[in-house]
């Protein structure tokens, strides 16, 4: 699989859908493609080891140790197809698309973080504009500096995969962490992969477990699989420590908190 295909799949997993029938009022108010962090209660699934039958579905992205296997590639291809279909169905005329793109760009240039992020998505996926990783990185960065969690995650992904920027895991970790600390499940999962493989950070299975656990508690299926894989390399005491750290993280980052 090519690296560009990997990047497209990664955006599919992050649910970075390009705007369709843009509503500038929604964009200005921050409602359009904003990330909605979901947190489970501390006792929901955090203290339960993952069933051993679950295995990672993201090895083909190069984000997990290859020894964990690549089961589930068909599911990833299905996600890519669904994203392609979603981007292909735009219920507006060409003229309307041009007008809406101009409105989106104007908002982005005025400093609206949501519009900046959405414009980055368009350039990353080549929807309505020529595909351009450098432009995607530029708009993601502007939004990320304003604290936009999806933009921070997307910027981290670009650094991890080397799109529009040099491939640099340490910088990927920096941006993933900023998004993860806002409760962004995909960023939490990605941090888990970095700690599991010692990419840009010291290898630490307990921290990997914590981030996988937090993301899995929000329903991230890849994190569920990552958690199962890392558990096989941990002692009972390490798993208990990872669960304790997960609870402490939730207590320090209450929903709606800063």
Answer whether residue 86 is part of any domain. yes
Q: Is residue 257 part of a domain?
A: no
Domain that holds residue 156: 3-22+50-252
42 within domain boundaries: no
pLDDT for 41-80, tens place per residue?
A: 333 445 544 433 322 323 222 223 323 333 344 444 444 4
* Res 47: pLDDT: 53
How far does CA 152 lie from the centroid of its chain?
A: 9
Judge whether 105 lies within some domain.
yes
Cβ(136)–Cβ(118) below 8 Å: no
Identify the segments of the chain with pLDDT beneath 50: 1-45, 48-92
Residue 17 CB coordination number (10 Å): 17
Q: Could you tell me if 29 and 167 are in contact, meaning their C-beta atoms sit under 8 angstroms apart?
A: no
**Rounded Cα–Cα distance for residues 55 and 147 (Å):** 33
Instruction: Report d(CA 161, CA 151) in Å as an integer.
Output: 15
Model pTM greater than 0.75?
Answer: no
Residue 31 in any domain: the answer is no
Q: Give the pLDDT confidence score for residue 78 in this predicted structure.
A: 43
pLDDT tens-digit readout, 98-111: 778 999 999 999 99
Residue 81 has what pLDDT? 41
CATH assignment of the domain containing 85: 1.25.40.10
**Looking up tokens 């208990």, which residue turns up?**
240
Burial class (CB in 10 A: 0-12, 13-18, 19+), 70: middle
Q: How far apart are CA 17 and CA 84, in angstroms?
A: 9
Give the separation between CA 164 and CA 161, rounded to whole angstroms.
Answer: 9
Q: Is residue 45 part of a domain?
A: no
What's the structural domain count of the chain?
1
> Is 27 part of any domain?
no
Give the list of residues 6+ apart from residue 60 with CB closer than 8 angstroms, or none: 1, 6, 70, 73, 76
């Amino acid at each position: 699989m090519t690296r560009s295909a990997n990047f497209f799949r990664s955006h599919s997993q992050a649910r970075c859908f390009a705007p369709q029938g843009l509503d500038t009022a929604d964009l200005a108010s921050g409602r359009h493609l904003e990330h909605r962090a979901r947190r489970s209660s501390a006792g929901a699934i955090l203290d339960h080891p993952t069933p051993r039958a679950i295995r990672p579905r993201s090895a083909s992205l190069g984000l997990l140790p290859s020894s964990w296997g690549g089961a589930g590639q068909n599911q990833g291809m299905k996600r890519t197809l669904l994203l392609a279909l979603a981007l292909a169905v735009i219920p507006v005329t060409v003229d309307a698309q041009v007008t809406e793109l101009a409105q989106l760009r104007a908002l982005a240039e005025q400093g609206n973080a949501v519009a900046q992020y959405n414009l980055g998505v368009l350039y990353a996926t080549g929807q309505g504009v020529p595909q351009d990783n450098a432009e995607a990185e530029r708009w993601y960065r502007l939004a990320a500096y304003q604290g936009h969690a999806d933009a921070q995650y997307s910027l981290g992904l670009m650094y991890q995969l080397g799109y529009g920027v040099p491939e640099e895991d340490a910088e990927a970790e920096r941006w993933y962490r900023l998004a993860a600390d806002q409760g962004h499940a995909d960023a939490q999962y990605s941090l888990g992969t970095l700690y599991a493989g010692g990419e840009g950070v010291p290898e630490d299975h307990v921290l990997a477990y914590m981030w996988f656990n937090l993301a899995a508690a929000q329903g991230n299926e890849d994190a569920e699989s990552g958690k199962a894989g890392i558990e096989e390399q941990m002692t009972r005491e390490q798993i208990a420590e990872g669960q304790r750290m997960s609870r402490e993280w939730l207590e320090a980052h209450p929903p709606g908190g800063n």
